[in-house]
C-alpha cells in the first residue's frame, strides 16, 4: 500500500510537470488540460475511497473538503488547480508516511533482532531448527555474535552478553554457569550452551515485541479530537465558500476557499507528534504502548509507586550485626554466610556478598534445608545452625526468649529494618539487620516529577507499616500505604482516580491488577514479559526510575506540540479562507499556499522527536560503578564504627587492639579516600559542571568528616577512662551517620553525572 502511494505521487508529479511544460513551452493548452485530468483522476478516486471507508466506520473528516475542491476544479475547468490540489494531497500523504516511519524508527529496531532459526542439539548433532518449534528443556548452542532466541540457563559458560537491547546497560554482562539469560541479548564472548526454559512465544523478547507491535498499531485519541474538529470545520468551510459565491457571484472564489481548506496532512500532524513522542520515549528507555497511554502519561496528576523493586533495588544490604557476647561479629557473619550459600534468595546473596567483602572464609554446610519464606538450617562444625525469620527461629528454641532478643525485635520494628536471627544448637547467639536500598536515582526522579507538575506522590507496599514508612519518609512521599494485598492496591488506585488522572508504577505480578486499573500503568522490568508488563500501558526498559520523569516530560511536550500543530494549522487555513473569499487568492495560489501550511505544521510536529538538549555525560557508566564500589568497599569500616560504638555504649568488653584496628582503617582507607575526593575528583567534576563552585556543599562535608576522623585518632592515644569512652561513642556515632549520608549523596550525584547531565 505504501508503494502504491509513492507510485501515485510520482504519477501526479510527472503529469503536472508535463502539463506545465506543454502549456508554457509549447502553448498546447488542450494537451495540458488532458494531462492534468489524467493525473488528477487517480487521486480523486483515492480521496473518495478514503471517504467511503470513513463513512463505513461512521466517521467523517476533512477529506470531504479535498474531494469537493477537486470536483469543483473539474467543473470550473480549473485543471491546473485540480492537478496542484491532487499533488498537494498525495505529497502530504507521503510526507506524513515518511514522518511516521521516522518516528517509529526506534520502535522497529527491536524487530530486526528477532532470530528465526536456532542451533539445537538433536540426537547428538547440531541442527538448525525454527525458533517457533523450540520447547523448554532443549539444548541450544549460542554462537559468538548470535542473539539468544529464547530464555534459558547458561550451560558450558560463562556467557558474556550484551543486554543493551533489554536493559540499556552499555557494558557486557557476564553470566556464570547456571545463571538465567534472557532472549534478545547478544553473545559477545565465546560460544556456550543454553538450556531453554520457555518456548519462543513466552520468552522475554517475544513479550517486548508484542509491546512494540501494540505501540505501532495504536491510534492516539488525539486523532479523534482532530476528527471532532472536522465536525465544525467542514460546515464552516462550506458556509464561507457558499457565502463567497453568493455575494460575489463568482464560483471560482468558492473553489479557492475549498482549496485552502484542504488540510488533510494538517490533521495527520497530531498523530505524528504523538508517535514521535512514543519514539523519543523509547530512545530514553520507556516503551509506551499507544497514543492513548502517551496522553494519559502527559495528563498524570497523581502517581502511586510500588516500593520493592521500583523505589528500592529489591536487593537488601547488611546494615548491622548483633551478638549476645558469646560469638564475635565475624563468627556470626561466617556462620550465616556459610549457611546462606545454599539458598538462592536475594537476602542470602546479600549476606554472602557482605562476608566476601570482609574477606571472611566460608565453611561448607551439611544437611542443609531451605524453608521457603522462613530461613535456612544446616550443620556447621557439628553444630545445628539456623538463620531466618525471628518467629521461625524462636519457635525452635528450648528456652524462653532472652531480654536482649526482645529488645532487638522492638528496636528493628521501630526502625523499619529486616531482622534475621541466628541460633546455634537452638540458642540465639546473634542477629543480622538488613534494609532494602533506595535506588540512587529515585530521589532525583521524584523531584523531577514534582517539578513537572505532579500533584501527589504515594508509595504502596505489601511490607510492614514500619518498614514502608522508613522508606517513604526518606523519599518525602505524600502518602505511604503499607501491608497491602493486590486487591488493596486496586482499591487505593480507584480512590486516587477520583481526585485526578492516576499513574501506577510497579514491577511484580501482584502489581498487575493495579496497573490495569490505573489511568496509566507503568511496569518496572527490563525483561518485559511478566504479568505486570502485559497489564501495563508502558514499560520501563531500563532499571532506572528517573526515566519515568523523562517520559512524563516527553509526553507533555508531545501533547503540547500536537495541540499546537492542530490549532496553528487550522488558524492559518481559516485566515487563508477569508483571503480567498474576498478574491485575493486564486485556486492555484491557494493550493500552493495550503501545501506550505501543511508542510509547516508537519515539520512542527516532528519537533517531538527531539528530547531537551543535554550535555554529554560527565562520567561514563564504568567510572560511576568504580566510584560507587569505593563506597561499598568502605562499608565494612562504617559497620565496624557502629558496632564498636554499640559495644562501648553497652559497656561490653572492648580491647585496645580493636580500637587500634579501627584507627588503622580510618587512617589508611577512609581519610585517603576523602582527601582524594576533595583535592582531585571533585575539582575535576566541578570544572565540567555548570555554576560557580557546584561542589561546595560536599566540600564542607569532607571537612566535617576529616575533623571527626582526627578526633577519633586523637582519642585512641588518650588514657582509657569514662571521659574517653563517652567521647569516642559520640565521635563514632556522628562519623558513621555523616558518612552514610555523604556516601548516599555522592552516589546520587555520580548517577546523575553518568546519565545525560542537564544544565
Burial of 691 (0-12, 13-18, 19+ CB in 10 A): exposed
φ, ψ at 135 (rounded to 5°): -130, 155
- Residue pointed to by grid coordinates 475542491: 69
Q: Which of 80, 68, 74 is nearest to 22 (CA)?
A: 80
Task: Report helix, strand and coil shares of the chain as percent, to nearest 5.
Answer: 60, 15, 25
Residue 175's H or E segment, with its range, is: strand 173-175
Within 8 A by CB and 6+ apart from 114, the residues are 147, 205, 209
How far is 518 from 299, CA to CA, in rounded Å?
A: 13
Q: Max CA-CA distance within the chain?
A: 116
Mapped onto helix, strand or coil, the DSSP state of residue 451 is: helix
Q: Which of 311, 273, 313 is nearest to 294 (CA)?
A: 273
The C-alpha R_g of the chain, in whole angstroms, comes to 34
The DSSP string of 105-124 is: HHHHTTGGG---EEEEEETT
Instruction: Residue 276: count other Cβ atoms within 10 Å of its Cβ.
Output: 25
Within 8 A by CB and 6+ apart from 510, the residues are 462, 485, 486, 489
How far is 568 from 570, CA to CA, in rounded Å?
A: 6
Residue 300's H or E segment, with its range, is: none
- Please name the residue ranges forming H helices in 476-620: 486-497, 512-517, 531-535, 546-581, 587-605
How far is 275 from 603, CA to CA, in rounded Å?
A: 14
How far is 433 from 415, CA to CA, in rounded Å?
A: 10
DSSP category for residue 611 = P
Q: Report whether 263 contacts 250 (CB < 8 A).
A: no
- Please name the residue ranges forming H helices in 218-328: 221-248, 251-260, 264-284, 291-298
The DSSP string of 362-394 is: PP--EEEEEETTTEEEEEETTEEEEEE-HHHHH
DSSP category for residue 165 = H
306 is known as an active-site residue: yes
| SS3 readout for 498-510 | CCCCEEEEECCHH
Cis link prior to 81 (omega < 30° from 0)?
A: no
| SS3 readout for 18-59 | HHHHHHHCCCCHHHHHHHHHHHHHHHHHHHHHHHHHHHHCCC
How far is 590 from 268, CA to CA, in rounded Å?
A: 20
Options 151, 162, 306, 463, the catalytic residue: 306
How far is 700 from 125, CA to CA, in rounded Å?
A: 67
Within 8 A by CB and 6+ apart from 692, the residues are none
How far is 586 from 235, CA to CA, in rounded Å?
A: 21
Within 8 A by CB and 6+ apart from 389, the residues are 373, 374, 375, 420, 421
Within 8 A by CB and 6+ apart from 90, the residues are 5, 8, 9, 12, 43, 46
- Active-site amino acid positions: 306
Amino acid at each position: 500500500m505504501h508503494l502504491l502511494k509513492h507510485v501515485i505521487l510520482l504519477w501526479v508529479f510527472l503529469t503536472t510537470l508535463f502539463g506545465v511544460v506543454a502549456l508554457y513551452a509549447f502553448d498546447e493548452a488542450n494537451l495540458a488540460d488532458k494531462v492534468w485530468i489524467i493525473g488528477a483522476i487517480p487521486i480523486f478516486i483515492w480521496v473518495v475511497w478514503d471517504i467511503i471507508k470513513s463513512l463505513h466506520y461512521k466517521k467523517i473528516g476533512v477529506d470531504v473538503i479535498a474531494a469537493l475542491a477537486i470536483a469543483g476544479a473539474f467543473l470550473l475547468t480549473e485543471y491546473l488547480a485540480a492537478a496542484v490540489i491532487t499533488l498537494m494531497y498525495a505529497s502530504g500523504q507521503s510526507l506524513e508516511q515518511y514522518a511516521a516511519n521516522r518516528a517509529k524508527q526506534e520502535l522497529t529496531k527491536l524487530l530486526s533482532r528477532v532470530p528465526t532459526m536456532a542451533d539445537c542439539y538433536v540426537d547428538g548433532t547440531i541442527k538448525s531448527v525454527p525458533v517457533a518449534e523450540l520447547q523448554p528443556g532443549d539444548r541450544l548452542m549460542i554462537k559468538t555474535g548470535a542473539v539468544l532466541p529464547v530464555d534459558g540457563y547458561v550451560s558450558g559458560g560463562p556467557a558474556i552478553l550484551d543486554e543493551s537491547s533489554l536493559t540499556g546497560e552499555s557494558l557486557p554482562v557476564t553470566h556464570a554457569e547456571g545463571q538465567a539469560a534472557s532472549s534478545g541479548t547478544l553473545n559477545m564472548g565465546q560460544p556456550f550452551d543454553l538450556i531453554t526454559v520457555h518456548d519462543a512465544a513466552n520468552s522475554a523478547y517475544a513479550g517486548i515485541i508484542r509491546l512494540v507491535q501494540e505501540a505501532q498499531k495504536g491510534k492516539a485519541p488525539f486523532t479523534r479530537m482532530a476528527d471532532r474538529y472536522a465536525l465544525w470545520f467542514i460546515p464552516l468551510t462550506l458556509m464561507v465558500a457558499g457565502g463567497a459565491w453568493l455575494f460575489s457571484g463568482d464560483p471560482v472564489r468558492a473553489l479557492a476557499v475549498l482549496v485552502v481548506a484542504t488540510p488533510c496532512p494538517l490533521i495527520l500532524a497530531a498523530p505524528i507528534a504523538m508517535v514521535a513522542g512514543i519514539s523519543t520515549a523509547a530512545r530514553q528507555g520507556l516503551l509506551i504502548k499507544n497514543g492513548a497511554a502517551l496522553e494519559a502519561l502527559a495528563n498524570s496528576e497523581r502517581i502511586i509507586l510500588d516500593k520493592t523493586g521500583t523505589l528500592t533495588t529489591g536487593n537488601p544490604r547488611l546494615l548491622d550485626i548483633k551478638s549476645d557476647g558469646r560469638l564475635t561479629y565475624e563468627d556470626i557473619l561466617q556462620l550465616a554466610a556459610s549457611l546462606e550459600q545454599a539458598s538462592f534468595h536475594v537476602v542470602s546473596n546479600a549476606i554472602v556478598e557482605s562476608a566476601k567483602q570482609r574477606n571472611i572464609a566460608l565453611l561448607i554446610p551439611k544437611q542443609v534445608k531451605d524453608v521457603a519464606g522462613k530461613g535456612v538450617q544446616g550443620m556447621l562444625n557439628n553444630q545445628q545452625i539456623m538463620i531466618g525469620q525471628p518467629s521461625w527461629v524462636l519457635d525452635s528454641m528450648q528456652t524462653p526468649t532472652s531480654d536482649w532478643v526482645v529488645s532487638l525485635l522492638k528496636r528493628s520494628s521501630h526502625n523499619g529494618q529486616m531482622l534475621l536471627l541466628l541460633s546455634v544448637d537452638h540458642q540465639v547467639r546473634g542477629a543480622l539487620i538488613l534494609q532494602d536500598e533506595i535506588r540512587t536515582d529515585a530521589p532525583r526522579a521524584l523531584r523531577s516529577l514534582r517539578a513537572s507538575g505532579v500533584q501527589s506522590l504515594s508509595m504502596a507496599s505489601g511490607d510492614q507499616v514500619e518498614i514502608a514508612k522508613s522508606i517513604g519518609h526518606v523519599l518525602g512521599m505524600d502518602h505511604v500505604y503499607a501491608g497491602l494485598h493486590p486487591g488493596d492496591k486496586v482499591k487505593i488506585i480507584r480512590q486516587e482516580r477520583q481526585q485526578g488522572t492516576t499513574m501506577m508504577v510497579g514491577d511484580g505480578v501482584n502489581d498487575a491488577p493495579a496497573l490495569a486499573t490505573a489511568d496509566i500503568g507503568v511496569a518496572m522490568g527490563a525483561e518485559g514479559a511478566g504479568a505486570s508488563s502485559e497489564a501495563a500501558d508502558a514499560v520501563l526498559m531500563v532499571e532506572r526510575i528517573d526515566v519515568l520523569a523523562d517520559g512524563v516530560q516527553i509526553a507533555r511536550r508531545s501533547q503540547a506540540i500536537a495541540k499546537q500543530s492542530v490549532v496553528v494549522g487550522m488558524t492559518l487555513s481559516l485566515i487563508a479562507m477569508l483571503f480567498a473569499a474576498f478574491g485575493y487568492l486564486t485556486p492555484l495560489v491557494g493550493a500552493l499556499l495550503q501545501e506550505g501550511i501543511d508542510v509547516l505544521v508537519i515539520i512542527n510536529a516532528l519537533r517531538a522527536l527531539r528530547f531537551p538538549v543535554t550535555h554529554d555525560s560527565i562520567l561514563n557508566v564504568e567510572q560511576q560503578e568504580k566510584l560507587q564500589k569505593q563506597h561499598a568497599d568502605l562499608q565494612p569500616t562504617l559497620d565496624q564504627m557502629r558496632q564498636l560504638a554499640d559495644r562501648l555504649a553497652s559497656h561490653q568488653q572492648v580491647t585496645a587492639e580493636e580500637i587500634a584496628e579501627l584507627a588503622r582503617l580510618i587512617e589508611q582507607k577512609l581519610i585517603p579516600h576523602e582527601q582524594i575526593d576533595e583535592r582531585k575528583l571533585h575539582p575535576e567534576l566541578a570544572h565540567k559542571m555548570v555554576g560557580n563552585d557546584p561542589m561546595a556543599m560536599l566540600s564542607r562535608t569532607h571537612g566535617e568528616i576529616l575533623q571527626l576522623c582526627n578526633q577519633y585518632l586523637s582519642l585512641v592515644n588518650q588514657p582509657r577512662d569514662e571521659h574517653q569512652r563517652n567521647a569516642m561513642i559520640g565521635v563514632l556515632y556522628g562519623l558513621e551517620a555523616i558518612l552514610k549520608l555523604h556516601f548516599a549523596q555522592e552516589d546520587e550525584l555520580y548517577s546523575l553525572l553518568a546519565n545525560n547531565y542537564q544544565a
